[in-house]
């Protein structure tokens, strides 16, 4: 490499540094340290290796790039702007301002070229593992001899924070086991986290740790030496395993007084230090202006168009020889496409069959029956479980287990709930696959921020959470969900389904699979639940709540979800013997129900009736539906270890108890001036 060339490369890296420090300064907040520290690595990767087309950020076969240390968002925005994505300089000026395309942390869907939303540490590397797995699975499924239409890499930047987070252990262990050789992670080893020099709280031998995962580790790469980085990248892209490139860097490099300190991490440098930095870098251009030579050197529009065109030619040849495969590949990558006709037919058939069978069945089993029908019609489904396959019943008839370096359509994630969520997010982000995965509902806690990220990114990931109440029985309070249904409902943009029987389970699956703009959680019972009723209820179920039983002269409404719908039906029958006519409303999905019109909601749950809700879990959210003169039968304390039937009796979640509470409610309502129970 010529000296001149090296100078240009340094200037290209400095362009990132200057844009980052100026944008943070303009915003008055942000994180200059990481972009300044990783600028040289970014230059080496983006200008010399990354296969992408700034004109088409959705190109199927592009390399994926993930900033797992998402606070370094300005690095990514600088790269996107410099490379020629639709991210004009004005957007960099508006860093962190309302409705700019440059939010504080990178957000997919907001900024062209941002592959995933990062910031919550450790999840970006998890998404990247999912993307690399998707590439591998799609390449196996679609490539044909002489036709390599899926052949790209996933690159990740990550820092000490990501590596301290537990989720990094889960997903990097999986990447090693799966031999994801097209995954390359660059570790920003700068020795600094927010609290200061990390050695006091992070003394891992990280290279040793990753070797223990079966990764190829490139140690002690000088993260500021372009030639060393080129060599490392060349080596990384020929490995037969995932690669960790350990780059020694200085946080905030370029800033004479802040570089190498925690202060560089998360605050603006200030005008004086910025001036000194400009001087040190030999950078005379004013803020948000670029020397023409640098701008030109960065543009990837031409090279990107050429790469994309070459791929298109390969794809056209493939489409010629394998037209059906080519169509299928494109169909699978349309993230907002409606379900295929065969899938809709399978789902309709599953619901109809369930409705006809009228069988008492655990909804987790009913879920498996739905998968048995829809699985063959949806080859894009990629299931899995966090080591509870035989309990979650995600192993439908046509499942083929992915183990080790093999392929399949069902993933043994091991006991890694959070990792599973992040990997599923990555699978969905990549495109071409529809992930679902299971664990016990209680352990949704472990995955919780991953569910939130599915919701924030509008990813249609499906979470199969079984053993959804004290009905789990003897495993006891550590394993019995109480607050989980409600607390998942509280996460924005998550649809939480708690079906009452096999028919509702089939409809819940249908709605979850139809969704294109957010995740769904299916809360399923361990124990068998009776068939809830007949009639044409499929479309009513899909609206989140519906009237299951509407007697003449009704005087009270019983609302319930999941396993408590059967309880409410029996309670209604008991009340009928006392001459009390009770409407029974099934509420399989509060979230969907709340999106219905007020007319529908009030028709289903009329305000003129006293209302009693029943759910074997937290009562808090039900008061909105029953009103302050209503009542809720539920469980606001922890469960116990005992057979399930005894627990429902112990906690008063039985037909007898519900009928009694309904009688009391009616007695109170008929007294002048209804009083709340104390």
Interacting positions 84-113 with a copy of itself (CB under 8 A): 96-100, 103-105, 107
What crossing angle do the helices spanning 3-27 and 226-236 adopt, rounded to 10°?
Answer: 90
- Find the length of the chain: 678
Which residue, 344 or 640, has its beta carbon nearer to a copy of itself? 640
Token look-up 């007084």 returns 257
Backbone angle region of 52, left / alpha / beta, with phi > 0 → left and psi within -120 to 50 → alpha: beta
**C-beta separation of 36 from 13 below 8 A:** no
Interaction mask 455-474, a copy of itself, x per CB under 8 A: xx----------------xx
Identify the active-site residue in 107, 417, 554, 615: 417
Scored b (16 or more CB within 10 A) or e, 618-645 reads bbebbeebbeeebbbbbbeeebeeeebe
Q: How far is the CB of 383 from a copy of itself (least distance, A)?
A: 13
Which positions ≥6 away from 569 have C-beta within 8 Å? 530, 532, 533, 548, 549, 584
Which residue, 404 or 579, has its beta carbon nearer to a copy of itself? 404
Question: Residue 434 gets which letter from DSSP?
Answer: E
Q: Which of 86, 80, 53, 55 is nearest to 67 (CA)?
A: 80
Which residue, 290 or 647, has its beta carbon nearer to a copy of itself? 647
Segment 474 to 513, residues that bind a copy of itself, using CB under 8 A: 474-479, 482-483, 486-487, 489-493
In angstroms, rounded to a whole number, what is the distance separating the alpha carbons of residues 131 and 139?
Answer: 12
Which residue, 349 or 641, has its beta carbon nearer to a copy of itself? 641
Q: How far is the CB of 100 from a copy of itself (least distance, A)?
A: 8
Binding-site size, a copy of itself (CB under 8 A): 118
Q: How far is the CB of 611 from a copy of itself (least distance, A)?
A: 10
**Dihedral (CA of 144, 145, 149, 152) sign:** positive
Q: How far is the CB of 659 from a copy of itself (least distance, A)?
A: 23
Strands 410-412, 381-385: parallel, antiparallel or unpaired by DSSP? Answer: parallel
Interaction mask 190-209, a copy of itself, x per CB under 8 A: ---xxxx-xxxxxxxxx-xx
**Per CB under 8 A, which region of 247-255, 313-321, 353-361, 437-445 contacts a copy of itself?**
437-445
Segment 645 to 674, residues that bind a copy of itself, using CB under 8 A: 646-647, 650
Q: How far is the CB of 677 from a copy of itself (least distance, A)?
A: 8
Q: What are 17-20's contacts with CB under 8 Å, separation 24+?
A: 17/253, 17/254, 17/277, 17/281, 18/277, 18/278, 18/281, 18/283, 18/285, 18/287, 19/74, 19/77, 19/78, 19/81, 19/82, 19/92, 19/288, 20/74, 20/75, 20/78
Interaction mask 64-83, a copy of itself, x per CB under 8 A: ------xx------------
Q: How far is the CB of 356 from a copy of itself (least distance, A)?
A: 33
Which residue, 317 or 650, has its beta carbon nearer to a copy of itself? 650
Q: How far is the CB of 355 from a copy of itself (least distance, A)?
A: 32
**Per CB under 8 A, which region of 25-33, 333-341, 353-361, 502-510 contacts a copy of itself?**
25-33
517 binds a copy of itself, rule: CB under 8 A: no
121, 419, 526, 534 from 164: Cα distances, Å = 9, 14, 35, 53
Which residue, 476 or 533, has its beta carbon nearer to a copy of itself? 476
Interaction mask 282-301, a copy of itself, x per CB under 8 A: --------------------
159, 186, 187, 222, 562 from 248: Cα distances, Å = 11, 10, 8, 5, 54
Interaction mask 28-47, a copy of itself, x per CB under 8 A: -xx-----------------
Which residue, 384 or 499, has its beta carbon nearer to a copy of itself? 384
Which residue, 53 or 107, has its beta carbon nearer to a copy of itself? 107
Full 3-state SS string of 103-163? CCCCCCCCCCCCCCCCCCCCHHHHHHHHHHHHHHHHHHHHCECCECCCCCCEEEEECHHHH
362, 365, 399, 428 from 386: Cα distances, Å = 20, 17, 15, 18
Token look-up 């192993």 returns 395
Which residue, 378 or 456, has its beta carbon nearer to a copy of itself? 456
Question: Residue 559 gets which letter from DSSP?
Answer: E
Backbone angle region of 467, left / alpha / beta, with phi > 0 → left and psi within -120 to 50 → alpha: left
Q: How far is the CB of 240 from a copy of itself (least distance, A)?
A: 15
Which residue, 126 or 432, has its beta carbon nearer to a copy of itself? 126
List the one residue from 213, 463, 497, 593 that touches a copy of itself (CB under 8 A). Answer: 213
Which residue, 118 or 511, has its beta carbon nearer to a copy of itself? 118
Output the six-digit token pair for 491: 């996460």
Q: How far is the CB of 373 from a copy of itself (least distance, A)?
A: 24
**C-beta separation of 43 from 228 below 8 A:** no
Interaction mask 143-182, a copy of itself, x per CB under 8 A: -----------------xxx-xxxxxxx--xx-xx-----
Segment 375 to 434, residues that bind a copy of itself, using CB under 8 A: 385, 387-391, 401, 403-404, 412-416, 418-419
Q: How far is the CB of 522 from a copy of itself (least distance, A)?
A: 19
**Per CB under 8 A, which region of 14-22, 58-66, 373-381, 447-455 contacts a copy of itself?**
447-455
Q: Per 3-state DSSP, what percentage of the chain is helix, strand, and coil (rounded to 5)?
A: 45, 15, 40
Q: How far is the CB of 647 from a copy of itself (least distance, A)?
A: 8
Output the six-digit token pair for 427: 């699978």
**C-beta separation of 423 from 416 below 8 A:** no
**Per CB under 8 A, which region of 45-53, 57-65, 82-90, 636-644 contacts a copy of itself?**
636-644
Give the residue ranges of DSSP H helices in 404-535.
417-430, 444-456, 484-490, 502-514
The reply to whether 211 belongs to the active site is no
**Per CB under 8 A, which region of 11-19, 42-50, 85-93, 114-122 contacts a copy of itself?**
114-122
**Dihedral (CA of 657, 660, 666, 669) sign:** negative
Residues annotated as catalytic are: 417
């Amino acid at each position: 490499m010529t000296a001149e060339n090296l100078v240009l490369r340094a200037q290209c890296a400095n362009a990132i540094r200057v844009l980052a420090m100026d944008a943070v300064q303009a915003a008055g907040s942000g994180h200059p340290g990481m972009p300044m520290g990783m600028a040289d690595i970014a230059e080496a990767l983006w200008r010399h290796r990354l296969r992408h087309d700034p004109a088409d950020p959705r190109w199927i076969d592009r390399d994926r790039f993930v900033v797992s240390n998402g606070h370094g968002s300005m690095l990514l925005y600088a790269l996107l702007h410099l490379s020629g994505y639709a991210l004009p300089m004005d957007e960099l000026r508006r860093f962190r301002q309302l409705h700019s395309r440059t939010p504080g942390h990178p957000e997919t869907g907001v900024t062209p070229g941002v592959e995933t939303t990062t910031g919550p540490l450790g999840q970006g590397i998890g998404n990247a593992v999912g993307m690399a797995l998707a590439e591998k699975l799609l390449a196996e499924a679609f490539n044909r001899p002489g036709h390599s239409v899926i052949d790209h890499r996933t690159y990740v930047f990550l820092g000490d924070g990501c590596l301290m987070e537990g989720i990094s252990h889960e997903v990097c262990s999986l990447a090693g086991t799966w031999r994801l050789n097209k995954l390359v992670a660059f570790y920003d080893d700068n020795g600094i986290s927010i609290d200061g020099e990390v050695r006091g709280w992070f003394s891992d031998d990280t290279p040793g740790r990753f070797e223990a995962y079966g990764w190829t580790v490139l140690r002690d790469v000088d993260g500021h030496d372009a030639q060393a980085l080129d060599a490392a990248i060349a080596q990384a892209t020929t490995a037969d395993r995932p690669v960790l490139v350990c780059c020694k860097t200085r946080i905030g490099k370029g800033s004479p007084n802040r570089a190498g300190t925690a202060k560089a991490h998360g605050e603006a440098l200030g005008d004086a230090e910025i001036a000194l930095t400009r001087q040190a870098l030999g950078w005379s251009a004013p803020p948000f202006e670029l020397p023409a030579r640098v701008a030109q050197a960065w543009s990837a529009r031409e090279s990107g168009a050429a790469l994309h065109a070459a791929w298109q030619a390969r794809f056209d040849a493939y489409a010629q020889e394998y037209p059906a495969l080519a169509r299928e590949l494109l169909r699978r990558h349309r993230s907002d496409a409606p379900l295929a006709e065969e899938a809709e037919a399978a789902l309709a058939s599953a619901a109809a069959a369930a409705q006809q069978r009228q069988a008492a069945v655990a909804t987790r089993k009913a879920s498996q029956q739905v998968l048995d029908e829809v699985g063959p019609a949806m080859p894009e489904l990629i299931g899995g479980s966090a080591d509870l396959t035989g309990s979650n019943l995600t192993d439908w008839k046509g499942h083929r287990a992915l183990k080790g370096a093999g392929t399949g359509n069902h993933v043994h994630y091991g006991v890694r709930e959070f990792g599973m969520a992040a990997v599923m997010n990555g699978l969905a982000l990549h495109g071409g696959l529809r992930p679902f995965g299971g664990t016990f509902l209680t352990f949704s806690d472990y995955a919780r921020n991953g569910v939130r990220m599915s919701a924030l990114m509008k990813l249609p990931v499906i979470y199969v959470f079984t053993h959804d109440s004290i009905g789990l029985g003897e495993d006891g309070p550590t394993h019995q969900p109480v607050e989980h249904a409600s607390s998942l409902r509280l996460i924005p943009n998550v649809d939480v389904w708690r079906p009452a029987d096999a028919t509702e389970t089939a409809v819940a699956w249908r709605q979850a699979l139809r969704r294109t703009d957010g995740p769904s959680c299916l809360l399923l019972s361990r124990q068998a639940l009776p068939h809830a009723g007949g009639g044409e209820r499929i479309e009513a179920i899909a609206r989140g709540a519906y009237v299951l039983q509407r007697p003449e002269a009704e005087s009270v409404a019983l609302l319930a979800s999941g396993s408590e719908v059967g309880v409410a039906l029996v309670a209604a029958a008991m009340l009928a013997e006392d001459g009390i006519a009770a409407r029974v409303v099934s509420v399989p999905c509060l979230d969907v129900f709340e999106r219905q019109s007020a007319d529908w909601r009030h028709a289903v749950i009329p305000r003129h009736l006293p209302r009693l809700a029943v759910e074997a879990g937290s009562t808090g959210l039900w008061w909105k539906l029953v009103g302050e003169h209503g009542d809720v039968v539920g469980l606001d304390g922890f469960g116990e270890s005992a057979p399930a039937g005894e627990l429902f009796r112990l906690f008063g979640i039985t037909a007898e108890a519900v009928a009694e509470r309904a009688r009391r409610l009616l007695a109170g309502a008929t007294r002048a001036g209804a009083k709340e129970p104390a």
